[in-house]
Amino acid sequence: MNISFVIPAYQCRETLAETVAGILRAEMPTREILLIDDGSRDGTAELCDSLAEQYPAVRCIHKENGGVSSARNLGIAEAAGDYIWFVDADDAICPIPAELLVDCEADKPGMILFGMEFRYFRGGRLMKSEKLRMPQRLRLSGARLGREFGGLFRANYLSPVWNKLFRRSLLTERRLRFDPALTNYEDLAFSLDVLACCRTVAVLPEAYYIYQTDYDHDRTVDRIARIDNVAANTDLIANRFFSAGEGCGFEPEAISELERIVLQIYLDLFQVKIQTTGLGGIKKQCGDFCSSPCFLRCEKQAPGLSVSAQKLLARLKAGQALPIWLDSRYRSARTRAGRIIKPLLGRA
């Protein structure tokens, strides 16, 4: 088996070369490294050409700016490997042992999932790192996949695309692509679309992907702030959860857990949205959420949520904008204070 690495490249001149070099150093069974220049204007386009000249395995494709989903879709269309691994231009990978890949390939899985390490930086200094991983190796299909679904989601195995090898033939035969209309959870949406078509999924416990990001800034807040009707946008994700459960033949208990997960996602995104919303806007969001059929379908799973989540749900349904606003501002202040104080305590 061999792998096509697909790297969307937009305004990443400072990090791209090291990401490419890291993949080559890993000595994976690499068919190619596809650099999809998404209309960069900071010198990234020229760097992509230079890397393609320097390394035989690297190929560069230039396109007009269209966003990460359109860049990945072009990568799917151009890839020739048995599997596709989507890598961001500022991250890194660890080598997956060849014998492990060969063993996984025996079952012809639609996806191979593995753990991730998250590294948070401030001014080039590592502030925090953590690994998310499953406790053991698994081979999943049908009802068993449903029983393990909650654990996979909580370990963050499902939401991103970087911690997966996607069987290219499955993507092409089923015409599976990223949705460019989504500005949030587009990775999760794609993963669920693929999952619904998989007969078998392989799960590895080790962390083979290193995600590197800013310690002080959550880009999710920026994305959600640009969405007017967060509930309607989240409906697009919720429906994919239900389709995956149906496609994989989840049992009733697994469907109930799936609904609890979806309900928590609605509440989490509601909390993110109100961080940048005034009182009037919060009332509107409450109305939008209570008008969502998917949200209402999952509401019956509220007893399985935490006490704080149940409290937020009750306030949301009652349209209590002021208590919601005050609690949101308190949480934001506490989070900011923690980001400042924890590193200081660590140096004490």
pLDDT tens readout for residues 110-120? 999 999 999 99
Listed in sequence order, the residues at least 6 apart from 168 whose beta carbon sits closer than 8 Å to its beta carbon are 4, 76, 79, 80, 81, 82, 83, 84
User: According to the model, what pLDDT value does residue 216 have?
Assistant: 78
Taking the C-alpha atoms of residue 87 and residue 213, their distance in angstroms, rounded to an integer, is 14
Q: State mean pLDDT over 249-264.
A: 95
User: According to the model, what pLDDT value does residue 275 have?
Assistant: 87
0.85 cut: is pTM over it? yes
Domain locations along the chain? 3-216, 248-347
Is the confidence at residue 343, as pLDDT, over 80?
Answer: no
Is the domain covering 3-216 a CATH 3.90.550.10 domain? yes
Pseudo-torsion of CA 90, 101, 247, 76, nearest 10°?
50
pLDDT tens readout for residues 276-322? 888 889 999 999 999 999 999 999 999 999 999 999 999 999 999 99
Is the confidence at residue 334, as pLDDT, over 60?
Answer: yes
Q: State mean pLDDT over 204-231.
A: 89
pLDDT tens readout for residues 49-81? 999 999 999 999 999 999 999 999 999 999 999
Taking the C-alpha atoms of residue 176 and residue 300, their distance in angstroms, rounded to an integer, is 32
Q: Indicate the length of the chain as a whole number.
A: 348
Is the confidence at residue 346, as pLDDT, over 60?
Answer: no
User: According to the model, what pLDDT value does residue 344 have?
Assistant: 47
Taking the C-alpha atoms of residue 326 and residue 10, their distance in angstroms, rounded to an integer, is 38
> Which among 236, 277, 276, 263 has a CA at the least distance from the CA of 317?
263
Q: What percent of the chain has pLDDT over 70?
A: 95
